[in-house]
């Protein structure tokens, strides 16, 4: 589901604008929102118990106990696991912050939305 939305978000600016730089400017505005939306989605993954991590013996390990989560997504119950969903959510929120801060700075069209 996420990848379909991402592909549509990336295709729309370039496909709907006659001027390529206008599409890149639109992609610059979309980039922070994509990171924020993905971070929120990862919090949803944590709440549902999907996309769990490997066995963890650290103090921040999480143990899922809801049998519904086990039945729906197969998360192991009663086992301390790395909260990979929260790791990625934190990374996505940091990416959002950097992109949001950068969008207000002078930059070339498309500089915030490409990996350079």
In this predicted model, what pLDDT tens digit does every residue of 32-77 receive, in sequence order? 998 999 999 999 999 999 999 999 999 999 999 999 999 999 999 9
Residue 116 lies in a domain: no
Residue 10 in any domain: the answer is yes
Determine the pLDDT at residue 12.
Answer: 65
pLDDT band at residue 116 under the 50/70/90 scheme: very low
The share of the chain scoring above pLDDT 90, in percent, equals 56
DSSP sequence for 50-90: -S---B--STT-EE---HHHHHHH-PPSS-EE--HHHHHHH
Model pTM score? 0.76
Angular region, 53: left φ>0, alpha ψ -120 to 50, beta rest: beta
Is the pLDDT confidence value at 83 over 80? yes
Range of the domain at 51: 2-103
- 115 found inside a domain: no
Give a yes or no: residue 60 inside a domain.
yes
Q: What is the pLDDT of residue 77?
A: 96
What pLDDT does residue 18 have?
Answer: 65
Answer yes or no: is 24 within a domain.
Answer: yes
Residue 111 domain-assigned? no
Chain-centroid distance of CA 83 in Å reads 15
- Number of domains present in the structure of the chain: 1
pLDDT by residue (tens digit) across 95-104? 999 999 888 7
pLDDT over 70 at 112, yes or no? no
């Amino acid at each position: 589901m996420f990848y379909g939305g991402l592909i549509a978000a990336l295709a729309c600016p370039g496909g709907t604008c006659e001027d390529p730089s206008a599409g890149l400017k639109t992609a610059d505005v979309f980039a922070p929102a994509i990171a924020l939306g993905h971070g929120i989605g990862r919090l949803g993954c944590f709440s549902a118990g999907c996309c769990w991590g490997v066995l963890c013996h650290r103090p921040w390990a999480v143990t899922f106990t809801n049998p519904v989560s086990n039945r729906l997504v197969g998360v192991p119950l009663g086992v301390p696991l790395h909260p990979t969903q929260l790791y990625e959510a934190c990374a996505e929120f940091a990416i959002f912050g950097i992109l949001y801060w950068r969008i207000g700075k002078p930059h070339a069209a498309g500089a915030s939305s490409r990996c350079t």
